[in-house]
Amino acid sequence: MIEREQPLGISPGGVPVVADVDVVVIGGGPGGFAAALRARREGCTVVMVERFDMPGGVHTSGLQGAANTGVGGIHTELMDRFDREGCLYTADEISLPDWAGNPLAHYDHYLAPGSPFKRTSFNPDGAGNVMVRMLEEAGVQAIYGASFVDVEMDRDGEGRRITHAIIETVAGRQALRGRVFVEGTGTAEVVARCGAPFVSGGGRQPETVTADPEQRPIPGGLLWIMNGVDFAQTAAYQRQENDPTLSRLINKARAAGDIPPELYRPRMDGGKNVYGEHYIGHPTVDMSPIHGPGSFILWQNVPYEWALHMDEDAAHASRAKVELRRLIHAEARFLTKYVPGFQNAVIAHVGRYVGVRDGRHPIGEYVFSIDDARQERRFPDAVTRPMTKTFFWDAYRKYTFEVPYRCFLPKEVNNLLLTGASLSFTFETIFMVMRNFPWCTQTGEIAGLAAARSVQAGITPKQLPWTEPLF
Ligand SMILES: Cc1cc2nc3c(=O)[nH]c(=O)nc-3n(C[C@H](O)[C@H](O)[C@H](O)COP(=O)(O)OP(=O)(O)OC[C@H]3O[C@@H](n4cnc5c(N)ncnc54)[C@H](O)[C@@H]3O)c2cc1C
């Protein structure tokens, strides 16, 4: 007979308490995973709650397996471990000739045709298994298949503090009591449930070159995998028929009524294309090698003009799931029916969730803005050494910048730390600059260390002085 879990008590809101720990991490994406691991390794008791069955977020459950060279700390450890455990696959000019410079290549289309390249991806499910084990080895108590839904809070001086995170499980609602909480949802859901301030997706700074007066969020996307592709045949067709973007096949399928209007549009309706081809729907087939030869990941983006706020509106979230599945079905049908090399291909996997690219942006004690980058401002509480990155959203300019610790501290809540895509950064600065896997893992690790230092000192993260960069 299975012994039932006994609650540790009842929260002030009347919910059975099932954990009482130093640090509660909500969401196990790259940010939450690294925060949980680091806080535990610093000696804290840690609970991490994750809606799906593994950590990794967009990069495992969402199938986005792009691997990067280690940038230090847990990120480097992860990449090494994925490699040792056989989860990495690298395509290059030998295994995939005709890929560099090919317009169908999501990442590598800008290379000179035929040039040497290496495109490494990790197998999302294999990597997820590794991440599950790493948390177990460290002694993090991970709760999978449970959704964070609410908070209970107390007053704390001028602000407030979270006392319990409320989760929905197969056993009903349960409460996790903690001293410090970490926002790892990728969409600042904890901030929203706390009633703390944020800017909704699409709320960009008006002075940036690409600002959209209608404030539509950058579309999210659902990733999916096709196996059984003979790309040599596809490339031979592209060459022989001088059809690099498959536009002749697309037009043929469109004329036969085989492609819904939302697929493969060269420009969004109305001729306005402020966000670049990748983010307006699908100008063309958009893919990247994954797993092994013949296996590719494809991108299904929400059409831009639908302006879905998938993190804030339940009807939008549901519509995205249904419509993107419809588009995936249509794209797979087009590829297998019309495109040489795809005739034996099959849909192998569709991501467990539609990733949000431009969700809520929390307002922290400091909001890192494009001016901080442009002026290359330095901060006494920098958590990183100066980093130089391309600010895609500021006309591809390069700036050298630092991240202040105050970007981890949401306004009004004294014991919550932000990580990953939910840092207190404006849209232009988080997008393509700080929200990628390596930096989300780093900011998660910084938050985990800050949580541990706060617990050990008996203070809140807001009271913690930060004087030296970690990375
Ligand atoms: C379509 C798409 C493509 C991308 N491509 C790239 C790329 O090529 N390279 C790159 O580096 N980055 C890419 N990114 C960006 C990157 O994936 C994200 O910015 C990054 O994963 C954010 O990390 P995170 O830890 O903040 O959140 P996420 O990765 O979003 O993880 C959040 C986790 O929290 C869980 N969660 C959320 N809400 C709850 C809840 N209420 N209860 C319990 N659990 C919850 C989720 O299940 C998830 O596991 C892409 C993003 C998208 C959406």
Q: Whose CA is nearest to atom 12 of ligand 1?
A: 436
Whether 320 and 354 have beta carbons less than 8 Å apart is answered as yes
At position 3, the amino acid (one-letter code) is: E
Share of the chain above pLDDT 90, in %: 79
Q: Give the C-alpha separation, 342 to 328, whole Å.
A: 14
Sequence spans of domains, the chain: 10-82+126-207+359-463, 89-121+219-350
Strands of 126-197 (E only): list them.
Answer: 141-144, 147-156, 159-169, 172-183
Q: At what angle do helices 30-41 and 437-457 cross, to 10 degrees?
A: 40
Q: Does residue 82 line the site of ligand 1, with CB under 6 A?
A: no
Q: What is the pLDDT of residues 64-101, one digit of tens each?
A: 999 999 999 999 999 999 999 999 999 999 999 999 99
Main-chain dihedrals φ then ψ at residue 119, nearest 5 degrees: -120, 105
Is residue 60 predicted with pLDDT exceeding 80?
yes
Kindly indicate the confidence band of residue 418, based on its pLDDT and cuts at 50, 70 and 90: very high
Which whole-number Å values give the CA distances from 82 to 50, 70, 121, 131, in the listed order? Answer: 21, 11, 10, 9
Is residue 5 predicted with pLDDT exceeding 70?
no
296-301/198-199 β-pairing: unpaired
Q: What is the CA radius of gyration of the chain?
A: 23
Quick one: tokens of 386? 């100066």
Index of the ligand 1 atom closest to the CA of residue 444 = 25
- Which of 37, 58, 75 best tests ligand 1's pocket when mutated (most atoms within 8 Å of CB)? 58
Share of the chain above pLDDT 70, in %: 93
Q: What is the pLDDT of residues 422-444, one digit of tens each?
A: 999 988 887 767 889 999 999 99
Whether 356 and 350 have beta carbons less than 8 Å apart is answered as no
pLDDT for position 6: 72
Is residue 241 predicted with pLDDT exceeding 60?
yes
Q: Give the C-alpha separation, 297 to 227, whole Å.
A: 9
Q: Does residue 338 line the site of ligand 1, with CB under 6 A?
A: no
Q: Does residue 148 line the site of ligand 1, with CB under 6 A?
A: yes
Is residue 134 predicted with pLDDT exceeding 90?
yes
Q: Whose CA is nearest to atom 16 of ligand 1?
A: 436
For residue 98, the CA-to-ligand 1 centroid distance in Å is 31
pLDDT for position 430: 78
pLDDT mean over 166-188: 97
Whether 179 and 455 have beta carbons less than 8 Å apart is answered as yes
pLDDT mean over 126-142: 98
Q: Does residue 66 line the site of ligand 1, with CB under 6 A?
A: yes
pLDDT for position 385: 93
Q: Does residue 189 line the site of ligand 1, with CB under 6 A?
A: yes
Kindly indicate the confidence band of residue 296, based on its pLDDT and cuts at 50, 70 and 90: very high
Poorest-confidence range of 83-87, 227-231, 394-398? 394-398
Q: What's domain 10-82+126-207+359-463's superfamily in CATH?
A: FAD/NAD(P)-binding domain (3.50.50.60)
What are the residues facing 38 on neighbouring strands? Answer: none
pLDDT mean over 120-143: 97
Whether 396 and 338 have beta carbons less than 8 Å apart is answered as no
pLDDT mean over 344-358: 95
Q: Which of 316, 299, 298, 315 is nearest to 307 (CA)?
A: 316
Q: Give the C-alpha separation, 183 to 413, whole Å.
A: 12
Distance of CA 353 to the CA centre of its chain: 11
pLDDT for position 4: 63
For residue 355, the CA-to-ligand 1 centroid distance in Å is 6
111 Rama sector, left if φ>0, alpha if ψ -120 to 50, beta otherwise: beta
What is the residue-averaged pLDDT of the chain?
92
Kindly indicate the confidence band of residue 196, based on its pLDDT and cuts at 50, 70 and 90: very high
Which whole-number Å values give the CA distances from 178 to 37, 56, 150, 192, in the listed order? Answer: 16, 23, 14, 18
For residue 228, the CA-to-ligand 1 centroid distance in Å is 28
Kindly indicate the confidence band of residue 212, based on its pLDDT and cuts at 50, 70 and 90: low
Q: Whose CA is nearest to atom 27 of ligand 1?
A: 186
> How many other β-carbons are positioned within 10 Å of the β-carbon of residue 274?
14
Q: Whose CA is nearest to atom 17 of ligand 1?
A: 58
Q: Give the C-alpha separation, 231 to 130, whole Å.
A: 30
Kindly indicate the confidence band of residue 455, based on its pLDDT and cuts at 50, 70 and 90: very high
Look at 53 and 271; give whichever has higher pLDDT.
53
What are the residues facing 182 on neighbouring strands? Answer: 25, 417
pLDDT for position 283: 65
Q: Whose CA is nearest to atom 21 of ligand 1?
A: 58
Index of the ligand 1 atom closest to the CA of residue 421 = 26
Q: DSSP state, 351?
A: -
pLDDT mean over 141-162: 96
pLDDT for position 273: 46
pLDDT for position 207: 58
pLDDT for position 253: 95
Give kind and range of the element (H or E) at residue 288. strand 287-289
Quick one: tokens of 140? 């993090």
Whether 236 and 309 have beta carbons less than 8 Å apart is answered as no
Q: Does residue 132 line the site of ligand 1, with CB under 6 A?
A: no
Exposed, middle or buried: residue 103 (CB in 10 Å: 0-12, 13-18, 19+)? middle
Look at 107 and 430; give whichever has higher pLDDT.
107
Exposed, middle or buried: residue 233 (CB in 10 Å: 0-12, 13-18, 19+)? middle
